Structure 1
Amino acid sequence: MTALIENICTTFKQIFPNTPAVTELSNDGSFATPLLFVTQQPSQFPRKLGNELMRTSNFDVAYFVDVDSNNLATLSAAGEKIMAEFNMIVDENLKPYAQVINPDWSITDKVGHCTFSVIQRMQDDTSEESFSEGNLDINGGIKK
């Protein structure tokens, strides 16, 4: 599990302290409710900004409550709580780790879904540091 996904689980455990946040289900697919199930959706291709590579990672956190009952009121309340409190991903020390982009809440087949994106910036290893002295062309004096 990557640090980003671990921190997403940590953040949702802060919002719902008594609800486990997991990335895998048991082999037979069974689980106890309530449960937050974190999955990463396909990422968008890297974009280049100077010498930085930017990758947008998309996530879906499914919120399962008792699937045998009519749980729309519970899911609506959970959605309001997530949309009010979920704007930053924190690490295990509760320090800001990443900004949440485009959060959304929907209910499909008695399951709540929080979808969002995170933009990760990575330095291109093959190039020199951006804005280093060697990359700048400095000309002084009066232009003729």
Structure 2
Amino acid sequence: MSRIIAQAAIRGAHGYVEQAEKELSEAIEAYGPQKKMEFPNTAYFLPLILALTGLEVRTLADAKQALARARELLPPIPEERLWLPYLGPTLDAGIATLIAQEVIEALKYVRGEEPEGIWLGFTDDTILRTQGIKLVDGRMPGFAACVGALPT
């Protein structure tokens, strides 16, 4: 894997984990650590964090544990002049980013922020089941997932 790509990915992961930690600290200060944290209409806590770590995030305090796990996964940013195998650490940084991003998105619901523009918000269990059936029976041949901001 390219050192340049690994550096960018790992640097980005550090940024997202720091952002999530900052936003979570502000939320704990505003609402308290026992404030419920969830996506609407889902039975799976924060589903990505549950799938990746086994942690059941129910409160802001639980999210702090998830971010501690993300922090543990963060590797140091690769040096400019030292070549090392980067794939494993870069993949770990990717998992840390996914954890941080899920916390950032869930905090929007804690703060009562409604999705705006073309962002429809979290896909709840009802919609996911409906779309899943279409994937299984062939009515929907596939789907495209866009990660991050797209050019407009």
Give the TM-score taking structure 2 as reference length.
Answer: 0.21
Whichever of the two has the greater Rg, that structure is: 1
Quick check: which one's helix share is greater? 2
**Higher RCO structure (Cα 8 Å, ≥6 apart):** 2
Quick check: which one's strand share is greater? 1
Give the TM-score taking structure 1 as reference length.
Answer: 0.22
